[in-house]
Every structure is written in C-alpha cells, then in structure tokens.
Amino acid sequence: MELKNHLEEIRNGLIKDLVQMLKGENVDFLSGKTKTDIKALYFEYEYNYLDIVFWAEDQKGDIITHTAAPSCQKKKQAGESEEWNSFLPEKIWTQASDFQEKYEEEDDFDDFWDEYNDEKYGLFENWFFECWKKAAEQSKAIVDAYFSIHDSYFRTDLNTFKTINNDEIAERYKK
C-alpha cells in the first residue's frame, strides 16, 4: 500500500517529466545532436530500487543523449537518510529487508517473496504505463519508446504495450 501511495504522490511529476522528454526538452544531448535526431526513447528501471533511467537513440541505434533520471525520482521523502537516493522510499526498502531477514528461513518464504516482488513490479510497471499514456496524450508527440527492467533483452513497446526483443527493435531501424 505504501508503494501505491508513493507512486500516486509522484504521478503528476513523472507525467510532466515524460511530456518534456517527448518534446525533447530537459534532455542532455550529446555534441551535435538535437531533438530532431530522436528516433526512440528507452526507459529502464533497476530491479531492487526501481530507479529509472532514460536515453534517446537515433535512426542508426546510436545513443544521442546522456543517460539521465526523471527529475521526480530525485525527490527526497520525509524521514529518509541523507545517503538514500533511490526511487523506492527508504521506509519501504527497510521494511521489506527486515521482513526478508526475519522470515527467509521459513519453508514457504520463497513463494511469498516471489508473490511480493510480482505485485511490486506489476504495480510499478502499470503505474509507469499509465503515466506514459497521459504524457503521450498531452505532448501529442509520436516517437518509438521502450520500457524494461535494466539490461533486459525483452522490452515493452510503449506505443503498443506489447513485448518486443532487442533484435526486433534493431530490425525496425534497418534501412
């Protein structure tokens, strides 16, 4: 429930960040590149902390921006230590870690932990998809975009919400 509340709290911030990205604003382009060079946006999240990064690629599949995080991700939550800098609030991380440490020797722990992670990632991914839909509506920009867990061969095409692999993406951009 706390994760759901956290996601709701920053929903509008992510939508605003996504609209700006779709318009090529607040994006740190590599030398000589501009928003007209964008062919696809890539979003990846880190498995444990849900940290999101994004970058843009051109028609040839070359990265044309510096990798960055949405600005809403950098917002400090109340009660977090100075060192904490993850998307997932420290309180949620600590509670999950404490639970894991306390019960990991139980016979059914693996099943329960898998169920917890399935729900966590499902909530997070669906939240991102809903934010993406709103941002795409608001920006009226049309660009290929993909979302996945960090370093995954499989991604979600954010225009169709279907799974696609890296080879299929590369095939799209062959001349």
**And the tokens for 4?**
């759901």
- Domains: count for the chain: 1
3-state DSSP call for residue 116?
Answer: helix
DSSP sequence for 143-169? -EEEEEETT-SEEEETTTTEEEEHHHH
Query: Can you give the pLDDT at residue 76?
Result: 58
Query: Can you give the pLDDT at residue 77?
Result: 61
Query: Can you give the pLDDT at residue 65?
Result: 96
**CB-based burial, 103-132: b 16+ in 10 Å, e otherwise:** eeeeeeeeeebeeeeeebeeebbebbeebb
Confidence of residue 158 (pLDDT cuts 50, 70, 90): very high
Query: Can you give the pLDDT at residue 105?
Result: 87
Query: Can you give the pLDDT at residue 79?
Result: 59
**And the tokens for 64?**
């044309």
* One-letter amino acid of 69: A
Express each pLDDT in 44-91 by its tens digit. 999 889 999 999 999 898 999 999 999 887 765 655 677 788 888 888
Query: Can you give the pLDDT at residue 123?
Result: 95
pTM of the entire predicted model: 0.88
Express each pLDDT in 101-147 by its tens digit. 888 888 888 888 899 889 999 999 999 999 999 999 999 988 999 99
Tokens 């059914």: give the residue.
Answer: 108
What value does the mean pLDDT take over residues 36-45?
95
**CB-based burial, 36-63: b 16+ in 10 Å, e otherwise:** ebbbbbbbbbeeebbbbebbbbbeeeee
Which of the given ranges, 21-30, 73-82, 96-105, has the highest pLDDT on average?
21-30
Per the CB < 8 A criterion, the answer to whether 136 and 129 are in contact is no
- Residues of the domain holding 89: 2-172
